[in-house]
Amino acid sequence: MNNTIKAVGFDLFNTLITVDPSARPESMRRLTESLNAVGLGVDRDAFSRAHREAVIRYLEATRVDGRETHNRFWISAALNTLGYDVLPDDPRIAQVVEAYFSAYIEASRLIPGTREMLGLLKTRYRLGLLSNFTHTPAATAVILRHALPPYFDAILISGDVGYRKPHPLVFQLLVDRLGVAREEIAFVGDDAEADVEGAQMAGLRPIWTTYVHEQSLLADSAAMMRSSDEPPGPIPRISAWEDLLALLGME
């Protein structure tokens, strides 16, 4: 693989970054407290159930056309289920979204050895980051928290793009930003459909990383957004950064 690769793209969450499983309950605690603070009092358990149902419904819709959704729609739908007539663009929703994501930002952890790996790859390849994340400010905060921007020549977040992996548009934007042929780009990600099949269908060369699965680090919120457990066909698989360096001929 290493002789023909000129750029490497990466997924972000569960590929470079993990999120502590405690983030999900803490985020819901902060969200419901924030709702109460802005005058939208809810029972935490009832709201959590309504919110989860809304997330699943909206994510199923994105799998039909690839369009990105946003948490404000999930929260608005959950509130409507509980009897509140609150639109997604209500300023109170924007406030509670920030409270919700603050827990995820704080609970994010860089996979050990990631900066060292990126530093080595940057000496030879152009590097890109392509993340499915509905709320771009939160994704940006995580990226900055872990000092990742200097390593990347291109950073794309689905919340900005308006579509999410595996839609071919987002991979085409990555190809354009990296400025090399699609068949010269390896793409590393953990999600079988979004990352592996998406990259493959777009003409990139996927690499499936299983570190988070093998370490049992997949958070409940991330599991809701996954569509399949294992990619079809023979795909290069890594479980440590040493595996990636070896695959690229950089042991």
3-state secondary structure of 168: helix
Does an H or E element contain 25, and which?
A: helix 23-37
Q: Which residues of 41-79 are buried (b: 16+ CB within 10 A; e: fewer)?
A: ebeeeebbebbbebbeebbeebeeebebbbbbbbbbbbb
Instruction: Note whether 163 and 230 are same-domain residues.
Output: yes
3-state secondary structure of 70: coil
Residues 6+ apart with CB under 8 A from 246: none
Per residue in 156-192, pLDDT tens? 999 999 999 999 999 999 999 999 999 999 999 999 9
Instruction: Note whether 229 and 133 are same-domain residues.
Output: yes
Domain boundary among the residues 106, 128, 157 is at: 106
Residue 11 included in any domain: yes
Number of domains in the chain: 2
Which CATH number covers residue 123?
3.40.50.1000
Residue 1 included in any domain: no
187 forms beta bridges with 9, 206
Domain membership of residue 170 as a residue range: 7-20+110-247
Digit-by-digit pLDDT tens for the chain (251 residues) are 667 999 999 999 999 999 988 898 999 999 999 999 999 999 999 999 999 999 999 999 998 999 999 999 999 999 999 999 999 999 999 999 999 999 999 999 999 999 999 999 999 999 999 999 999 999 999 999 999 999 999 999 999 999 999 999 999 999 999 999 999 999 999 999 999 999 999 999 999 999 988 876 665 544 455 555 677 778 999 999 999 999 999 87
